[in-house]
Amino acid sequence: MPMTVPVVRATGGLDDTIQNFSSKTQQGTGFKFDEYDGEALLASIRAALKAYRDPKVWHTIQANGMAKDYSWKASAAAYVTLYEAAKRARIPRSVGSSK
C-alpha cells in the first residue's frame, strides 16, 4: 500500500508538523493551506495531484516525511530548549519585593 502524503490546513499541531512541499528545493512533507476556504483547499489538492503524477517527486515527499523524528524524545528536547530560553530571558525580581 502506498504511503500517503498529507494535505492540511495550517493550524495547530498540523502547522507545526507538516512542512509545505517546495518543488524548487524538494523539501517538505506535505501540502498546507492557510485560508479557511474551498479555493485554498483546492489549490493544495491540485499541487498534491501534480506531485503525485511524478513518481520521483512523490517518493521524495514520502522520504522527507519518513526522515522526520516525530517521537516524544524530539518533542521533549524542543520543550527543554524553549524552557531554558524562557528561564534565561526572565527578569529577576528584587529581593524582598512583594510583586
Considering only residues 1 and 53, tell me which one the structure prediction assigns the higher pLDDT: 53
Is residue 61 pLDDT above 80, yes or no? Answer: yes
Estimate the share of the chain in helix, then strand, then coil, as percent rounded to the nearest 5: 55, 10, 35
Is residue 63 pLDDT above 90, yes or no? Answer: yes
Distant-in-sequence contacts of 12-15, Cβ < 8 A, 24+ apart = none
Domains of the chain plus CATH, in order, are 7-89 (3.40.50.2000)
Summarised one tens digit per residue, pLDDT across range 6-41 is 999 999 999 989 999 999 999 999 999 999 999 999
Q: What are the two backbone dihedrals, phi and then psi, of residue 27, each rounded to the nearest 5 degrees? A: -105, 150
**Is pTM beyond 0.75 here?**
no
Considering only residues 3 and 14, tell me which one the structure prediction assigns the higher pLDDT: 14
pLDDT for res 75 = 83
